[in-house]
A = this chain, B = another copy of it.
Amino acid sequence: MSQSAEQKWQRRKEERPAEIMEAALTLFSEKGFAATRLEDVAEAAGVSKATIYLYFDSKIDLLLANVQEIALSRFDEIETMLSLYDGKIADLPTLLLGRVSEIARTTKMPDLARVVMSEAHNFPEIADFYRDNVVKRGLGIIAGIIARGIESGEFRKCDPAATAQSVMFPIIMNVIGRKTFGEIPELDPMKFFPSHIDFVLRGLAADKEA
């Protein structure tokens, strides 16, 4: 950016990792993880290949660092919020899905999810990490809320782990679908998100007393 012309490089220990990660995710998303060469990442980030290895162990590590940054750090935040929450459990789905919608709109989570879902089958390390830290943990958060609501009598009795999929998967699929097939009217998020929240609240609601 602001480096003088004769200077070949600058020491920018603080900014490098983030720049490399972002360049990597952009390329992974455009061309696929397997098809992206570390050399392209280096070029896009304005560093040499060796510099990448200074901060990351491997190409896989470079992807998983993005998972940590984009997904897991937000799980931390959400879990903190949930542990402090003391309002009605019945309001949590709306609150949580609102936050998820915001993450989908404002971060690269959709691209990241698409890349991982596309290539995890061919990279066991990616599949293992994502399964344990994103799929299981993400579903676990939703299942926990459902279980709390059942206990408090605000939600009907159901299998929390199974029902968590009914709550979460449409959102993931809508988001990945738009990345894969382009924006199409059928998947319009402005219509889908409110509709889905409605659907979820009815699907979870306790039966009214007779």
Contact = CB atoms under 8 A, between A and B. Distances in A.
A163 B156 CA distance: 21
Interface stretch (A39-47, A98-106, A176-184): A176-184
Number of this chain's copies in the complex: 2
A102 to B, nearest CB: 19
A165 to B, nearest CB: 5
Contact of A199 (B130, B131, B179, B203): B203
Nearest to A201: B203
Interface string A159-187: 10111011001101110110111101111
B180 A192 contact: no
Given A117-B180, A136-B186, 18 more contacts: A31-B122, A32-B122, A118-B121, A127-B180, A135-B181, A135-B186, A158-B199, A165-B187, A166-B166, A169-B170, A169-B173, A169-B174, A170-B173, A172-B173, A200-B203, A202-B202, A202-B203, A203-B203
Most chain B C-beta atoms within 10 Å of own C-beta, residue among A161, A179, A188, A194: A161
Interface of A: 31-32, 34-35, 114, 117-122, 127, 130-131, 135-136, 139, 156, 158-159, 161-163, 165-166, 169-170, 172-174, 176-177, 179-182, 184-188, 191-192, 194-196, 198-200, 202-203, 205, 208
